[in-house]
Copies of this chain bind each other. A is one copy, B any other.
Amino acid sequence: MVAALAGVSRSTVSRVVNASPRVAPGVVEAVNAAIVELNYVPNRAARTLASKRTLTIALVIPENTARFFADPYFASVIQGVAMYLSATDYTLTLLIASETDPEKTRRYLQGGNVDGALILSHHSDDRSYVQLATSLPVVFGGRPAGHADPNTYIVDVDNVAAAQTATRYLIDHGRRALATIAGPQNMSAGIDRLDGWRRAADAAGLDVSRVEYTDFSVSGGADAMRRLLASGATFDGVFAASSQIASGALDVLRERGISVPGDVAFTSIDNDHYAQNSIPSLTTIEQPTLEQGGKMAETLVRLIAGEEVDPLTIMPTKLIERSSV
């Protein structure tokens, strides 16, 4: 094998492969040359068996698979994860929680099959995964609702601030009768964005009573807008908790002949294709989704490596101005 060609022992080859610091530079070179020459690829299973490291990271996908995949946010985050990991030895394993009974997922995760897990669900009832963090390195994308346990690592954006910015933008452009279509109140993103809207409106001395709730979907946004109109409320500015919601709401407004931004201005969160392609295109808050995924992966890898890592990483957001205000 490689050892013979490089004229060293198997141990030394192993050390080189694992980037051990105490190998003579010349030897490192010789071994690497031999590796290239022989097109040597270390056997994963053998490494895992001997070292107890699986070099595998699980990506846990929540129960509602359909909606999960429908949301461009997740797609992008996953892509970011995959991009980061592709530069490492780690492999991504998909764990679809819904399909395999919860117990099986849990046992798989605890059974030494993975070195760590990435959790992309946001539901407050997912306390189970928070608990998982005590026995396995875990990083959450988005703060699990409830509150942050000490042991919990999170990569998120400041949803309160993002919502405030988006709302203030409406106010700064002369809108005074504000409404919001809020997301689910069992996810931190839903809660925080509503909170941000309230704070911004409150700070400007505006009425904060026009609130409709829905899930993060286009059809949900449409339904919520119908309810809002049916309620008899009048408003000239709407902050939607996501661009999917806004997109559905805009459809309804167009149907009713209400002009945007003429009669009603809109801002939202998420700079996805809904924001870009809705009519009119949306002024919105961009989250660095790819980078969030990358950061999640990086955090987990460093956690696994035993490094000290910040329990909370807040990614920056950015206002994107388009035609809806």
Contact = CB atoms under 8 A, between A and B. Distances in A.
Closest 9 CB pairs of A and B: A69-B75, A86-B100, A45-B48, A82-B96, A45-B49, A83-B99, A92-B94, A41-B111, A86-B99
B69 A82 contact: no
A54 B74 CA distance: 28
A43 B273 contact: no
A19 to B, nearest CB: 18
Contacts of A83: 96, 99
A218 B274 CA distance: 10
The secondary-structure label for the interface of chain A is: helix
Interface string A14-50: 0000000000000000000000000001011110110
A68 B86 CA distance: 19
A104 to B, nearest CB: 7
Interface in A34-78: 41, 43-46, 48-49, 54, 59, 65-66, 68-70, 72, 74-76, 78
A250 to B, nearest CB: 11
A44 B112 CA distance: 9
Interface residues of A, number: 43
A323 B273 CA distance: 27
A222 B279 CA distance: 12
Contacts of A111: 41
Contacts of A96: 78-79, 82-83, 86
